[in-house]
Structure 1
Amino acid sequence: MKVVTFGEIMLRLSPLGYGRFVQSNKFDVTYGGSEANVALSLANYGIAVDFVSKVPDNEIGQSAINLLRQYGVGIKNIIKDGERLGIYYLEKGASQRPSKVIYDRKYSSISKSTFDDFDWDSIFKSADWFHISGITPALSESLAEISKFACKKAKEQGLRISCDLNYRSKLWTPEEANKVMSEIIKYVDVCIANEEDIEKVFGIKAEDSDVNKGKINYQSYSNVAKQVHEKYGCKYVACTLRTSISASDNKWKSLIYDGNKVIQSKEYLIHLVDRVGGGDSFSAGLIYGFMNNLTLEETLEFATAASCLKQTIEGDYNLVTVNEVNNLAKGNTSGRVQR
């Protein structure tokens, strides 16, 4: 079993602790990016995974590759070319102060990619699953076309395809996202979204819900998942549902629709350490469940528990074991010291 993910890995710079940008003269350094985060989670679960990307041929690009290699992610399809690695700055929020992200990723190596950079026939050889997010095609017009082509090739070669819509307002408009993602979604088996993505990308709104006020109507999101399934033909539509009590405390659950029924996970109350990568760890958990032939209920609970645990870990990556995820999914929520 092998998974291929395609996207950008970036340098992440964060003030120490809960410091603000304007008061910081030191930054914590790590690397991350949606599809890279998914790849690392899967490698951590023992699944063979290749990450496809493009980084500059310098020490910063090599550092990103080294990080992926350290955790067992396949890096043979990462091209070294171009001038810069994308950067994002993260200021972690607390209580009523929200987190903030500033992007510095224009003209990054991967955004300048061309069709000649990627031999998809070779990349998909012996692969079983392809994962992409809506961030990758948002980076440039060329990447939008490459992303469509990659999904088409993956479908032709019989791979299952998952896509996290991952709408980013700082990268493109809803109209631009709709135009591109309406093409990509035709190839997707598992569509993944948070409580806002589907409205922003496809214009399908959950009634009686307001995420800014922490109001989530679960039945409405079940209806949204059904509409996506009916309109675009995805075999599964999964949604993470975050109720934001504050920047420090969230409720977290999810649902999935398979064309016949909607299944909801249990709900977790999380005291956040680092919420970045929560959706990516959910995607990885779904892929893990499907590839290991878990039941749909088991798959959803595994993915939800995995993404809950991620949000208690600093950095983009979900550094937990399968056993730790299963223990939480089975109800061990006390957080007691394990001796």
Structure 2
Amino acid sequence: MARIITFGEIMLRLAPNGYYRFFQNDQMQATFGGGEANVAVSLANYGMDAAFVTKLPAHAIGQAAVNSLRGLGVDTSMITRGGDRVGIYYLEKGASQRGSVCIYDRAHSAIQEASPADFDWDAIFEGADWFHFTGITPALGENVVEICREACKAAKAHGVKISCDLNYRGKLWTREQARAAMTDLCQYVDVCISNEEDAKDVFGIEAENTDIYGGKLNKEGYKSVAK
């Protein structure tokens, strides 16, 4: 069975029940989520050997995040403990023409303030086959860009395939910052996952004869983006 390692931030998600707007009633649902954590959970649901790597505080909220992943079959044994807080995001689900709203409260989270010394990638990749991360993770700061770089180098040294979902987040960094970091990191990547918006935002690659924000797609343009 293939062993897959994913790396990123898991956050506490607070969301109003159903399609209520923020504080339209006095209840919010609390769950945990994050791009790479969600991938690990999905793979575990398919019966695969999936591990999630991050840094979480040693307090009860950090432990609740670990427990939520463990309960879904994800290997949490290589999560580093330390730091002061779990990042939070508030999600208001859209309805009809009203779009969803996401508000981040994630500054100074444990993973954002992590250092390369927090992770022993040689031990983490022992027996691993695949490593997955997204562009959300290096967007957390230059220190996390360096952590991702060290992870990629170690993965290559262990013969581990690497995939990356570009997943550009304008609330976290600029296009220029994303281009510099992801151009560097993608030299190690075997499978790059992107849509046409991410390709333009991160790499300045634009589909031919297509307005990516206009709602009309030229399917042939995807070929030029891929090339």
Q: Same fold (TM over 0.5)?
A: yes
Match of 2:146 in 1: 145
Count of residue pairs the alignment pairs up: 226
Match of 1:131 in 2: 132
Match of 2:178 in 1: 177
* Aligned-pair Cα RMSD in Å: 1.1
Separation in 2 of the partners of 1:24 and 1:173?
35
Match of 2:4 in 1: 3
Match of 2:187 in 1: 186
Task: For structure 1, list consecutive stretches of 5 or more residues without a partner in the other structure.
Answer: 227-339
Match of 1:103 in 2: 104
> How many Å apart are 1:207 and its aligned residue?
3.2
> Retained in 1: the 8 A contact 2:196–2:206?
no
TM-score by length of 1: 0.65
Where 2:112 maps in the other structure, the secondary structure is helix
Matched letter for residue 140 of structure 2: L
Matched letter for residue 194 of structure 1: N
The percentage of counterpart residues that share the same residue type is 58
Structure number with the higher helix fraction is 1
Match of 2:209 in 1: 208
Counterpart mapping for 1:34-113 below 5 A: 34-113=35-114
> How many Å apart are 1:22 and its aligned residue?
5.0
> How many Å apart are 1:73 and its aligned residue?
0.3
Matched letter for residue 193 of structure 2: I
Matched letter for residue 87 of structure 1: I
> How many Å apart are 1:211 and its aligned residue?
4.5
Task: For structure 2, list consecutive stretches of 5 or more residues without a partner in the other structure.
Answer: none
TM-score by length of 2: 0.96
Match of 1:16 in 2: 17
1:154 aligns with 2:127: no
User: Compared with structure 1, are the counterparts of its residues 69 and 179 closer, same or farther at alpha carbon in structure 2 (3 Å cutoff)?
Assistant: same
Where 1:135 maps in the other structure, the secondary structure is coil
Where 1:218 maps in the other structure, the secondary structure is coil
The structure showing larger relative contact order (alpha-carbon pairs under 8 Å, at least 6 residues apart) is 2
Q: What do residues 156-184 of structure 1 show as CA deviations (whole Å, max 9, x unaligned)? A: 21100000001000000000000000011
Runs of at least 4 residues off by over 2 Å: 22-25, 207-214
Q: What do residues 72-121 of structure 1 show as CA deviations (whole Å, max 9, x unaligned)? A: 10001111211000011111111111111111000000001111100000
Where 1:112 maps in the other structure, the secondary structure is coil
> How many Å apart are 1:33 and its aligned residue?
0.2
Where 1:143 maps in the other structure, the secondary structure is helix
Match of 2:34 in 1: 33
Where 1:162 maps in the other structure, the secondary structure is strand
> Retained in 1: the 8 A contact 2:196–2:225?
no
Match of 1:250 in 2: none
